[in-house]
Copies of this chain bind each other. A is one copy, B any other.
């Protein structure tokens, strides 16, 4: 027996296997996941395993290595989050998200830090030796909402899209703030004196870390898209580039002390549309599937490790400090959301309701990022207290908040995600309105959201697509692609029902029962599409599309009231708009 030789890969494989089997186990009992979030169950499994290890070895089980967490477990989850991020709601609410992520996190850090410092002054608690700086450092790691925990809970409760993107977007983008504040306070802890220059440098650093991350991410994303231009003869390695470049963007950002999470999200969102156009359908399925699989496994491992690491003798149980930490985390987050939303609602027509505000405040779950950061703290005599407080906060938020948020959402009747995908008609109208609003903003000289979106789209089609896409000379409108997809789907359904026009003697086969088997449905690839479009709706859409699609394109340019159909040239339109705009300015 030569265990030493294969130990590392063997144990890694066994951990992943355990995680996967645990996942299967939960889903065998259909009731369990609908009551308790999977993250709680996994932590519970981890706690039991940690207990067993502790019992057998009589020493603390190994804690989750921060390096393993940040280098191997976190990137797949963030990549998945970034790649499948719904870009429209994200960019529509980017202002609010940034406000929550930046101002909100800073508010929480200083709120929690200063109020815990206040608690430390109470003599009865024996905490006078914890300095303000240490409290602020602790605040910087405990304040950040965790994307992994948020995703695990919010994916199951199906709140409306805007609410989801607000909480989830905040949890992703606050990484830049957390990184800066954590590193700032940690270096302050080791400095003899702190000058005002250092503080200003810290503020400047925030922009560097955040924007630097975006820049690194976009650079790698564009390179990735450019690389997939040349993979036509060697389809089989296409999916690799998506993973390699995004991982490289994360590592590069981490290497330069920038925000890796921001980098990988920028990379994934940047490359997505170009890569999808370049790679084959099968490669794309593999990319999507493998991303989901990988993030799912990472996620499972993180929660199990979290449970395992909780057991042991790393903790100092000073209950006043721990309890006040939990209370302050709740209070400052609630206050922060209330104050910030007040300002946000003053500038928006589509306001955030008080129910939504409650869910945003209540959904501020903490997770493995805090946990890894607290173990990365420099050694000092109260580190075990911080570890204990962090553990309790995480368990409290994941178990108590995570398990009660679903009943609360039901009770408050928070607006849910619409179950059906938007119809083709809706999509056309949304796009039409976008163009209209861009035109209005252009004419009125108000350079708003739609104006910039239009400019970006122009830049994209004029330059980026030509460089990054393989077959630029054959651009296809997404509506035509959708139409083709529907046609194919329809055809498959017909074939499966045996109603295809000119295969001559289907009825005999139908009678013999070959084609009417029950598991026909398994082959249909796009489940979501199938649910929303039953054959009748589908036929209607096809009819409308086939009647109107071409005509709209042909008669489109004739909307100008000064000319007869077919006379105007696009150039003249552009001129006219320009003249109108100049007058307005």
Say yes or no: B292 contacts A236, CB within 8 Å: yes
Which residues of chain B are within 8 angstroms of A281 by Cβ–Cβ distance?
522-523, 525
Say yes or no: A23 contacts B504, CB within 8 Å: no
Within 8 A of B (CB), among A1-35: 1-3, 5-6, 8-10, 13-14, 16-17, 20-21, 23-24, 27-28, 30
A522 in contact with B237 given A508-B550, A514-B549, A550-B509 (CB within 8 Å): no
Residue A314 at the chain B interface, CB threshold 8 Å: no
A27 in contact with B495 given A5-B254, A239-B290, A476-B517 (CB within 8 Å): no
Residue A194 at the chain B interface, CB threshold 8 Å: no
Say yes or no: B474 contacts A519, CB within 8 Å: yes
Which of B251, B297, B503, B547 is in CB contact (< 8 Å) with A546?
A: B503
Residue A410 at the chain B interface, CB threshold 8 Å: no
Say yes or no: B495 contacts A490, CB within 8 Å: yes
A512 in contact with B286 given A244-B13, A517-B476 (CB within 8 Å): no
Which residues of chain B are within 8 angstroms of A256 by Cβ–Cβ distance?
1-2
Within 8 A of B (CB), among A276-331: 280-283, 285-286, 289-290, 292-293, 296-297
Which of B28, B484, B487 is in CB contact (< 8 Å) with A503?
A: B487
Say yes or no: B491 contacts A251, CB within 8 Å: no
A496 in contact with B505 given A244-B16, A290-B239, A550-B512 (CB within 8 Å): no
Which residues of chain B are within 8 angstroms of A248 by Cβ–Cβ distance?
10, 13-14, 17
Interface stretch of the complex, out of A225-233, A262-270, A379-387, A459-467: A225-233
Which of B230, B240, B483, B495 is in CB contact (< 8 Å) with A491?
A: B495
Residue A72 at the chain B interface, CB threshold 8 Å: yes
Say yes or no: A546 contacts B496, CB within 8 Å: no
Chain A 468-493 near chain B by CB (<8 Å), digits 1 or 0:
00010010100010011001101110
Say yes or no: A27 contacts B471, CB within 8 Å: no
Residue A257 at the chain B interface, CB threshold 8 Å: yes
Which residues of chain B are within 8 angstroms of A415 by Cβ–Cβ distance?
none
Which residues of chain B are within 8 angstroms of A3 by Cβ–Cβ distance?
255
Which of B289, B476, B490, B514 is in CB contact (< 8 Å) with A239?
A: B289
Which of B283, B293, B492, B542 is in CB contact (< 8 Å) with A237?
A: B293
Residue A577 at the chain B interface, CB threshold 8 Å: no
Which residues of chain B are within 8 angstroms of A189 by Cβ–Cβ distance?
none
Residue A424 at the chain B interface, CB threshold 8 Å: no
When all copies of this chain in the complex are counted, the total is: 2
Nearest opposing residue in chain B for A33, CB measure: B233
Say yes or no: A492 contacts B488, CB within 8 Å: yes
**C-alpha spacing A210/B227, complex, angstroms:** 44
Q: How large is the interface on A (under 10, 10 to 19, 20 to 34, 35 or more residues)?
A: 35 or more
Say yes or no: A237 contacts B20, CB within 8 Å: yes
Residue A247 at the chain B interface, CB threshold 8 Å: yes
Which residues of chain B are within 8 angstroms of A514 by Cβ–Cβ distance?
480, 483, 549-550
Label chain A's interface by main secondary structure.
Answer: helix
Chain A 506-536 near chain B by CB (<8 Å), digits 1 or 0:
1011001011011100110100000000000
Say yes or no: B491 contacts A546, CB within 8 Å: no
Residue A107 at the chain B interface, CB threshold 8 Å: no
Say yes or no: A546 contacts B508, CB within 8 Å: yes
Say yes or no: A9 contacts B251, CB within 8 Å: yes
Which of B30, B233, B488 is in CB contact (< 8 Å) with A523?
A: B488
Say yes or no: B230 contacts A28, CB within 8 Å: yes
Which of B10, B488, B542 is in CB contact (< 8 Å) with A496?
A: B488
Which residues of chain B are within 8 angstroms of A484 by Cβ–Cβ distance?
495-496, 515, 523
Which residues of chain B are within 8 angstroms of A230 by Cβ–Cβ distance?
24, 28
Within the complex, what minimum Cβ distance (angstroms) separates A483 from chain B? 7
Chain A 425-452 near chain B by CB (<8 Å), digits 1 or 0:
0000000000000000000000000000
**C-alpha spacing A251/B2, complex, angstroms:** 10
A251 in contact with B23 given A282-B525, A491-B491 (CB within 8 Å): no
Residue A494 at the chain B interface, CB threshold 8 Å: yes
Residue A543 at the chain B interface, CB threshold 8 Å: yes
Closest CB pairs A-B (n = 9): A491-B491, A491-B495, A501-B501, A487-B495, A286-B289, A27-B233, A512-B550, A6-B251, A236-B292
Given contacts A6-B255, A491-B495, 12 further A-B contacts (CB under 8 A): A2-B254, A10-B248, A10-B252, A10-B255, A20-B240, A21-B227, A23-B237, A484-B515, A503-B539, A505-B546, A512-B550, A514-B549
What are 27 A-B pairs with beta-carbon distances under 8 A?
A: A1-B255, A2-B256, A2-B257, A3-B255, A13-B247, A13-B251, A17-B244, A21-B227, A24-B227, A27-B234, A28-B230, A237-B297, A240-B293, A282-B525, A285-B285, A286-B286, A474-B517, A484-B515, A487-B500, A488-B492, A488-B523, A490-B503, A491-B491, A501-B502, A505-B546, A509-B550, A512-B553
Residues of A within 8 A of B (CB): 1-3, 5-6, 8-10, 13-14, 16-17, 20-21, 23-24, 27-28, 30, 67, 71-72, 227, 230-231, 233-234, 236-237, 239-241, 244, 247-248, 251-252, 254-257, 280-283, 285-286, 289-290, 292-293, 296-297, 471, 474, 476, 480, 483-484, 487-488, 490-492, 494-496, 500-506, 508-509, 512, 514-515, 517-519, 522-523, 525, 539, 542-543, 546-547, 549-550, 553
